Amino acid sequence: MSLSQDMLFEAEPYLVANEKHPFVQGIIHATLTPEQLRYYDEQDIAFEYNEVGIINALIDNSTTTEQALLFHKRQDLQLTMLRDWLHREPESMPHNWETLKQTPIQPINQLYRQHMAATVQTHSVLQILPSFAAGEWMYIELGRFVSKQARVEKEPFQSFLTMGGDDFLGPNGFIQQFFNIIDYEAKSATPREQERAKQTFLKSCLLEWYFWDAAYKQITWDDWQNAALKGKGESLL
């Protein structure tokens, strides 16, 4: 079994858990509140901004020019998506490229971004790529899952997890190409390095679940502070 097959096999229970999460179910049934959507939107745009740095690291540490070109293409898409997203920002939450850097990063978002950033210092595509590819894979699979459900066709829910999939899907899509790169890099890696890469992938899958959970409960540092200092909010954690 290739490393990517092994990763996907072990990631399956995390995918099922993500499908069952009340936030994902709330997308299907269009039952999320404006506050839950707003929290998600703010945290996710900041998350995607952080990914720009991760993709830069992938370009930087590529072992072939083909890899560098693929990551560069992915970066182009990331920046285009961010630009369009910033244009769509609601009046209540205006962001631009500059203020994006000052968006408050709430606890789970911080944990996830630091999990990804921690891989950069390995200078290894095999270690950096799984931290990033897991989120992409999860969104594509969740998109597939929600499209098979009787989902409520109402915005903004309808557009949620419906990705302009062609760039991501199929044998030449980003997802398959990322897995091909992981398998190519795994060939020259030790079993310990391969295991580490797999665990990084699985931790990103786990943090995907917590990202939905944080948005569902709108967990902030203030909640954590209240829970710690005032002894309130056990149910949040």
Ligand X SMILES: Cc1ncc(C[n+]2csc(CCO)c2C)c(N)n1
CB of 85 to ligand X, least distance (A): 9
Residue 148 backbone dihedrals phi, psi, to 5 degrees: -90, -10
Tokens representing 36? 């839950």
Q: Which is nearer to ligand X, 54 or 194 (CB)?
A: 54
- At 56, the amino acid letter reads N
Q: Which is nearer to ligand X, 75 or 226 (CB)?
A: 75
Residue with tokens 């030790």: 190
- Total residues contacting ligand X (rule CB under 6 A)? 10
Contact present, 115 and 207 (Cβ < 8 Å): yes
CB of 163 to ligand X, least distance (A): 5
Contact present, 136 and 78 (Cβ < 8 Å): no
Q: Which is nearer to ligand X, 139 or 189 (CB)?
A: 139
CB of 39 to ligand X, least distance (A): 12
Does the footprint of ligand X cover residue 85 (CB under 6 A)?
no
Q: Please list the helix, strand and coil fractions of the chain in percent, rounded to the nearest 5, in that order.
A: 75, 0, 25
Distance CA 232, CA 187 (A): 50
Query: According to CB under 6 A, which one of 14, 23, 47, 157 is a site residue for ligand X?
Result: 47
Does the footprint of ligand X cover residue 130 (CB under 6 A)?
no
Query: According to CB under 6 A, which one of 59, 68, 163, 189 is a site residue for ligand X?
Result: 163
Q: Which is nearer to ligand X, 89 or 193 (CB)?
A: 89
Distance CA 19, CA 216 (A): 14
Does the footprint of ligand X cover residue 135 (CB under 6 A)?
yes
CB of 11 to ligand X, least distance (A): 14
Number of neighbouring beta carbons within 10 Å of residue 141: 19
Contact present, 138 and 208 (Cβ < 8 Å): yes
For residues 125, 131, 132, 134, the Cα torsion angle rounded to the nearest 10 degrees is 120
Query: According to CB under 6 A, which one of 6, 10, 19, 44 is a site residue for ligand X?
Result: 44
Does the footprint of ligand X cover residue 26 (CB under 6 A)?
no
Does the footprint of ligand X cover residue 136 (CB under 6 A)?
yes
Does the footprint of ligand X cover residue 10 (CB under 6 A)?
no
CB of 190 to ligand X, least distance (A): 28
Tell me the residue length of the chain.
237
Interface residue list for ligand X (CB under 6 A):
44, 47-48, 81, 135-136, 139, 163, 208, 211
